[in-house]
Structure 1
Amino acid sequence: MGLLRETEMQESLKDSPHHTHMKNDRAIDVEVHFRTSSGNYNPFATRQLLKYLDWEILNSVEVPEGFCAHSMKFALAMQLSHIYRHFIGGGVGLRQIVDYYVLLRHSSESERRELMANLNRFGLRKIAGALMWLLRESFGLDESLMLCKPDEFRGRWLLREILQGGNFGRHVGGGRLKWLYWWLGKRKKSLSYWRFDLAETFWAEVDYWKVFVENTSTRIRLRKISLRDVKF
């Protein structure tokens, strides 16, 4: 990060645990990744996942197009975690589901088995079950390509969220509500995920309030309680 700041690019406030947005003097937004993944919200599962990804990314290979591509093992674990974080954190889109279907179709049995053996350790068992059900019902995924037993309850939940909200929940109504009603609705929805995964919901809420407190100085500077419509 220090090297990036030496380029005189302006760092924005749109940070995440694994990337930051920076702008040059022409206001071109560049998303710079400095970690292999944001992981899950559960810090204990994330620690195990990132340890695996940090090791597996060393197996990246250079492709003819002139850049390095990570391994299939890396992609299977990282993308599943990415889908989960989007789902719990605001909304997941159909595009990400299609991407994972393609990954499974191109993966080997040994690559899938390695992730299958680590689903619980990485905190991904519940989202994997939901995704396997969705891919079977919507894409006809063969059982031989599945990572675990399909979970119909969570799978229907995942499908409903995709159809209603899409990526980051952009298609969910309520954009014109006053900020207080909008905020209460968001908090209610976030807490409702406890039936999907209690531990992940708890840590997602902890993460929300951590970020909320960290943005206090920004609220004071902008003289705004809600940062919903602020573009950084």
Structure 2
Amino acid sequence: MSRLQTERALFQLLSISLGNMSPDDLPAYDAQTWLSLYKESKKQSIVGIVWSAVEKLPLQNQSLPLNIKMGWYGQVYLLEQRNITLDGACAKLTEKLESISFDSFVAKGQSLSQLYDEPLRRDCGDIDLFVFPRQSKFPRYDLKIEYIRRKIDSLGLKKLGYIVYHHAEWEFDHIPVEIHFRPSFLTNPWHNKKYQTWFERQVESRCWSKNRGYYSPVISFNLVYLLQHLFFHLLFEGSKLRQIYDYAILLKHLAKIPDADIIKAGACATIEEVGMGRFARGIMWVLQQTCGLPAAHLIMEPNKKLGEYLLHEIMESGFYGKTDTRNSQNRRMKRFIRRARLFHLFYSEIAWDIPFRLWHWWWRRTNQIKYHWPHLEK
């Protein structure tokens, strides 16, 4: 089976997992095809998701060789145990943060897994926590970050890395934790200003709810935030199908909400305002092709031409471009080539990448001297 056929089979399994395709419609595959599907699902961080689809197949189609089946099941079992560990860590961290008068919510990862039919089967990594001091507003953002840093240090968490524009890294129970001061960023300063303003409004409206011992953001927040996260990774580092599936799950749940049209309209207005409208339309097409998402679930009209280009990038690059064999293995060179390749599509964001990095270097260096922040290099 060719790579194109393998990818098509993988998309069908994702559609089955999401309930958008009948398991009976999947043809039987030989051992080599299943091996290719297993490898591709590992590359795209969707091992657990695809396994859930495999379990739904009729017995005559479950022709996996025993060695592949056992290896796959073993990966899923370890994934489930990891998710249980992370859920417990999120609850403990939330409790610790409340003890120092911080509100917080878990972004991406564990909060998104709650939307899955089988939450423990979402591939997981570190913990992303957004934190908000309950005390009065700070006159400058660097003062707010310094206050958060000192309070987090008082909890006894181990420092892992330096402080950047939107987060800092710690470790809790041997688990990497990113403490976010801001959601993320756009390199275009005008778009970024609007994005940060939108985030502040979301925080003021307390855009989170509690479940499983920790807080998660509401769907209206994730419609913009997850798209921006995908936008940044695809443009500068590389993305993978797990992030696409996350957004498909989000839209599936949005369709069940009574005021879904109002939420869609608000999200679309924000997405356009921060310069991601074109990208969003390309992703809508990708969602249809990879997860079989019905047109009624989409928040924008799909752009087929751009979507084909974006899907090709996702399948070639993988997360952080680690599996991209098209160019140099040097990470910085990969980033440069990626920016050059996508510049004609998203020039308003990519053109500001170097100016933003220069400003960011100056900002970190200034605050490192002022507040004795950890050294710039890990």
1:112 match: secondary structure: helix
Q: CA contact under 8 A between 2:235 and 2:338: conserved in structure 1?
A: no
Selected match of 1:66 from 192, 199, 213? 213
Label 1:149 to 1:88 Cα distance change in 2 as closer, same or farther (>3 A): same
Label 1:174 to 1:207 Cα distance change in 2 as closer, same or farther (>3 A): farther
The equivalent of 1:5 in structure 2 is: 153
Q: Does residue 40 of structure 1 match 2:186?
A: yes
Q: Does residue 189 of structure 1 match 2:341?
A: no
Deviations 1:25-44 (A, max 9, x none): x9x45323232411322221
The Cα of 1:15 is off from its aligned counterpart by 4.4
1:199 match: secondary structure: helix
The equivalent of 1:30 in structure 2 is: 176
Deviations 1:89-141 (A, max 9, x none): 21011101000001111112221111112222122112201100111222222
Selected match of 1:146 from 266, 279, 298? 298
- The separation in 1 between residues aligned to 2:299 and 2:346, in whole angstroms, is 18
Label 1:64 to 1:214 Cα distance change in 2 as closer, same or farther (>3 A): closer
1:49 match: secondary structure: helix
RMSD of the alignment, in Å?
Answer: 3.0
The equivalent of 1:222 in structure 2 is: none
Which TM-score applies when normalising by structure 2? Answer: 0.50
The Cα of 1:67 is off from its aligned counterpart by 2.0
Selected match of 1:17 from 160, 165, 170? 165
Q: CA contact under 8 A between 1:59 and 1:71: conserved in structure 2?
A: no
Q: Does residue 134 of structure 1 match 2:282?
A: no
Amino acid paired to 1:20: A
Report the number of matched residues. 214
Label 1:169 to 1:215 Cα distance change in 2 as closer, same or farther (>3 A): farther
- Residue correspondence of structure 1 range 93-104 to structure 2 within 5 A: 93-104=240-251
The equivalent of 1:202 in structure 2 is: 351
The Cα of 1:79 is off from its aligned counterpart by 0.4
The equivalent of 2:40 in structure 1 is: none
Selected match of 2:277 from 125, 138, 151? 125
- The separation in 2 between residues aligned to 1:149 and 1:62, in whole angstroms, is 30
After TM superposition, the structure 1 stretch with the greater mean CA deviation from structure 2, 96-105 or 29-38, is 29-38
Amino acid paired to 1:103: L
- The separation in 2 between residues aligned to 1:204 and 1:149, in whole angstroms, is 28
- The separation in 2 between residues aligned to 1:174 and 1:137, in whole angstroms, is 24
Selected match of 1:77 from 220, 224, 240? 224
The equivalent of 1:224 in structure 2 is: none
Q: CA contact under 8 A between 1:131 and 1:150: conserved in structure 2?
A: yes
The Cα of 1:81 is off from its aligned counterpart by 0.5
After TM superposition, the structure 1 stretch with the greater mean CA deviation from structure 2, 146-155 or 131-140, is 146-155
After TM superposition, the structure 1 stretch with the greater mean CA deviation from structure 2, 133-142 or 123-132, is 133-142
Amino acid paired to 1:188: I
Amino acid paired to 1:158: L
Selected match of 1:158 from 310, 314, 325? 310
Q: Does residue 105 of structure 1 match 2:257?
A: no
Label 1:186 to 1:70 Cα distance change in 2 as closer, same or farther (>3 A): closer
1:119 match: secondary structure: helix
- The separation in 1 between residues aligned to 2:363 and 2:326, in whole angstroms, is 25
Q: CA contact under 8 A between 2:282 and 2:310: conserved in structure 1?
A: yes
- The separation in 2 between residues aligned to 1:119 and 1:183, in whole angstroms, is 29
The equivalent of 2:142 in structure 1 is: none
Label 1:15 to 1:83 Cα distance change in 2 as closer, same or farther (>3 A): farther
Label 1:188 to 1:105 Cα distance change in 2 as closer, same or farther (>3 A): same
- The separation in 1 between residues aligned to 2:179 and 2:296, in whole angstroms, is 34
Q: CA contact under 8 A between 1:21 and 1:29: conserved in structure 2?
A: no
Structure 2, unmatched stretches of 5+, are 1-148, 255-259, 366-376
2:169 match: secondary structure: strand
